[in-house]
Structure 1
Amino acid sequence: MTKSIYVKLSPLALFFFMLVSTTNVQAQDKADTIIGIWEMNDQSAKMEVFRSGDEYQAKLLWGKDITNPDGTSKTDNNNPDAKLKNRDLIGMTYITGLSYDDEEWENGHVYNNANGKWYKCYVWIKKDRLHLRGYLGLPMLGQTTKWNRVK
C-alpha cells in the first residue's frame, strides 16, 4: 500500500512560487538573447555565440584576417603555446566565461589571435547590436567592437 503525500499551499505561497518561477524563466530568456550568429559592423568577421553549461562562449565562423586566399583557415601561429600554433582559427572558441547579469554579459575573456593574448571582456546588446568590449586592466582603456545579428 502506497501513501500519497499532498502538500497544500496557501494562495499566497502558490502566488510567490509562480512569481519566482516566471521571473527565472524571463531572466533566462533575456540571457539567451546573445545566442546567435553575429557579423562585425564592418563585415570583416562572423561569430557564433552559444551557451556552454552556465556560461556563454563564441567561436569564429569566418573572417577576412583569419582566412587564406583560397578560403582555408589560417592557423593560430601567434599563440605562445607551441601545441596550439597549428590549430585553425576558423571554428576556434575565442570568447569564454561570459555570464549574464543585469542587462550585460560579464566576466568573459576574448582571445586576440594577432598577438596570442587573452583579454577580459564584457558584452551588451543595444537595439539588436552586440557591443563587445575587450580590455586589459581597466575597461575604460579597452576597445569596443560592434556586431550585427545575422541569425
Structure 2
Amino acid sequence: MKTIFLFLMGLILSTSIYAQESSVFGVWKTIDDETGEAKAYVEIYKDQNDTMSGKIIKLLQDDEDTICEKCPGDKKNQKVIGMQIIWDMIKNGDQWIDGEVLKPENGKTYSCKVWVEGDKLQVRGYIGFVYRTQTWLRVE
C-alpha cells in the first residue's frame, strides 16, 4: 500500500512539474531573431478575462528610462518597462492565438501566436502569410 501511495505521489509531482515547465506563464528572456542578442525580460500572465498578455519588466541593453517614441496611441512616449507588448491571446489547444504583439523598436503591431517547445517560448508575429518567429528563453 505504501509503495502504491509513493508511486502515485511521484506521478502527481512529476506531472505538475512538467505542466509548470510547459506553461507559457512566467518570465522569459527575449532574443532578437536578427542579431541573436538578449533584449528584455517579459512577464507572461493571464488576464482577468482568461486571455494571455505579456509586459516588459526589464531591459537588458537599453536605459531603464527608454520610451517608445514610435508606438501608436496611448503607448506613444511611454516607458518601455511596464509596457504591455502582448495582449488578447486566446488559448487553443497547446497554443495561444488571435492576439497581438507590439515591437517597441518600430512601434508596429502584428498578429500573434505563442507556444512552448521544451524550455523555449516561440513567439510568432505575422501580417497575412508573412511571419517571423522569435525564440524566447525561460528565466529561472
Q: Same-fold call, TM > 0.5?
A: yes
Match of 1:79 in 2: 71
Q: Secondary structure at the match of 1:40?
A: strand
Q: Corresponding residue for 1:36? A: 26
Out of 95, 114, 130, the residue aligned to residue 123 of structure 1 is: 114
The question of 1:52 aligning with 2:47 is answered: yes
CA spacing shift, 1:47–1:80, aligned 2, 3 Å: closer
Q: Which has the higher strand share?
A: 2
Once residues 52 and 44 of structure 2 are traced to their aligned partners in structure 1, the CA distance between those partners, rounded to angstroms, is 7
5+ residue gaps in structure 2?
1-15, 32-36
Residues 84 and 38 (structure 1 numbering): CA distance in 2 closer, same or farther, change over 3 Å?
closer
> What is the CA-CA distance between 1:73 and the residue it aligns to?
2.2
- Per-residue CA deviation, residues 13-50 of structure 1 (Å, 9 max, x unaligned), is xxxxxxxxxxxxx9xx68x8111001124322210000
TM-score by length of 2: 0.73
Indicate the SS of the match to 1:78: coil
Residue 144 in structure 1 maps to residue 123 in structure 2: no
Once the two structures are TM-superposed, the CA of residue 96 in structure 1 deviates from its matched residue by 0.3
Higher RCO (CA-CA < 8 Å; seq separation 6+): 2
C-alpha RMSD of the superposition: 2.1
Change over 3 Å in CA distance of 1:115–1:43 after alignment to 2: closer
Identity, % of aligned positions: 28
Aligned residues: 116
Superposition TM-score, scaled by structure 1 size: 0.68
The alpha-carbon distance between structure 1 residues 108 and 46, as it changes in their structure 2 partners (threshold 3 A), is same
Matched to 1:56, the amino acid is M
Structure having the higher Rg: 1
Gaps of 5+ in 1: 1-25
| Structure 1 residue ranges (4+ consecutive) displaced by more than 3 angstroms after TM superposition | none
Look up the match of 2:12. Answer: none
